[in-house]
Amino acid sequence: MAWLLDRYGWPGKVLVETVVTLPLVLPPVATGLLLLKMFGRRGPIGYFLNQQFDIDVVFTWRAVVLATAVMSFPLVVRAMRLALEGVDPGLEDAARTLGAGPIDRFLSVTLPLMAPGILAGAVTAFAASLGEFGAVITFAGNVPGQTQTLPLALYSALETPDGAATAARLATLSVVLGVAGLLLAELLARRTRAWLGR
């Protein structure tokens, strides 16, 4: 999607850009409600999945994955578009004049040069997924052992009498996971930059 939005002009591009960016500006609960309407058993996509493949999405682990993916997708696309803007088109043109086809150019020139952006997008998606609450609780519910994520477990602990100790442990776990993810991302980014000679 980042490639299509950055490198090509086509009819309807503005509409697609708007739809891709929409989860950033909508309240997460509204995004969860839209997913619920589309993927519920009576929704257009949910009905099809249920009738054709006997797959239910709503209030399952699939809903958790889909809700967090939809909420973090605009962040990933944005990071990758910024990385693509930093790729010198002259390098791709040089590869073309040396006989590289479109796939070769992408795999050997463009993809390695945009690797830091891919990494940044992945880390941003991970961080956003760790904290996603509104879309997940609306679309997947809060079923312990089934759809309960870390933020939902933390919320449940705070709502239970004498749940302060559990909430503190879950908050500590959230901080540890966030810091570990950011440190790992920084390490990978440095190695990628060293590999690219930047």
Distances (CA, A) of 133 to 25, 67, 95, 151, 175: 15, 10, 45, 6, 16
Quickly state the pLDDT bin for 186 (edges 50, 70, 90): confident
Amino acid 198: pLDDT: 62
pTM assigned to the model: 0.84
Residue carrying structure tokens 């960016």: 21
pLDDT range class, residue 181, cuts 50, 70, 90: confident
What's the average model confidence in pLDDT over 157-182?
91
CA dihedral (139, 77, 22, 14) positive or negative: negative
Domain count, the chain: 1
Q: Which domain holds residue 88?
A: 2-196
Residue with tokens 């776990």: 173
Q: What is the CATH number of the domain that holds 29?
A: 1.10.3720.10
CB 20 within 8 A of CB 75: no
**Residues 117-167: pLDDT tens digits?**
888 888 888 888 888 999 999 999 999 889 999 999 999 999 999 999 999
